Every structure is written in C-alpha cells, then in structure tokens.
Amino acid sequence: MQGTQRLFAASAFCGGGHMDTGVEGATVDACQPLIDIAVESWRFAKIFAKVLTKLDAGEAGRYTNQLRYFQKRLDDSLQAAGLRLVNLEGQDYDLGMAASALNIGDYGTDEQLYVEQMVEPILMGANGVVKAGTMLLASRSRT
C-alpha cells in the first residue's frame, strides 16, 4: 500500500489527527504509534508462542494462558480503535491478498502456493487495509 493510501486509511479511524512531536514543525500521524505497537505486539506474541514449545508441559500451561490473555487484550484494544489484525497463515495464496510475498520469485506460475508464514500481519480498519502485511509462501506440490 502506498504511503498516502496508508495515511488516508489510518486517518479514517483516527480522525486524521496529528501529534506534535515537540520538534518545531514535525508532526506524526496520530495513529502511527498504535499501528507500530500493534504489529510489534503481534510479532512478540508469535516469538513467545515459539518459546513456549520448548518448555515442559506444566510450565508451558501457565505461560500459554498469559499469552492468550495478552492476545485478547491486544485484539480488544485494536477493536476499540476500529482495527483488527489479519493472519493468513495456511491459506491458499491469491495475488489479491493485502500482503507482499517475499519469496514469490522462488516459484513457477503453475505451482499451487499457500501462505506458510506471516512476517507481518495485515492491519484492517473499517474502511479497508490500514497496513499491508508481509508473508512467505510455500508450494503445496513440494511438501
């Protein structure tokens, strides 16, 4: 998504406001910090979930519940701002997806591809895509 399109979509749910940064003449889109923290929180939750698989079952259970609580709070907070995170992992790849594929050049046009991993989620608002995601693809025929 182009920078101006992203700014327009973000301003639709934030009222188009800007924050004063304290530096003369410098402002920041009021929603950009929320967008950034949402993406980084999603990324942190994915890494934390991977770490949980390395723990023994008793210890992992307690931390799994904390992770679920964190993810619910993140989703609820984003929903209050009119946003939601979209994860396409496991879905068949489609050219119209609101995410760029980092490894699309590794595959032929005749291969049936799917989203193996989301590197960054898609952030949706009431008026459409606020921030496009990033993904890695895999071929169903090579598995």
What pLDDT was estimated at residue 49? 95
**CA 103 – CA 74 distance, rounded (Å):** 29
Helix (H, G, I), strand (E, B) or coil at 95: coil
What pLDDT was estimated at residue 29? 73
Write the DSSP symbol of residue 69. Answer: H
Please say whether the beta carbons of 124 and 83 come within 8 A. yes
pLDDT in tens, 69-127: 999 999 999 999 999 999 999 999 999 999 999 999 999 888 899 999 999 999 999 88
Q: Which residue has the higher pLDDT, 47 or 15?
A: 47
What pLDDT was estimated at residue 58? 86
What pLDDT was estimated at residue 7? 39
pLDDT grade, residue 3 (50/70/90)? very low
pLDDT in tens, 21-72: 454 554 457 788 999 999 999 999 999 999 999 999 888 988 999 999 999 9
What pLDDT was estimated at residue 23? 47
CB contact set of 87 (below 8 Å; sequence gap of 6+): 42, 118, 121, 122
The pTM score is: 0.75
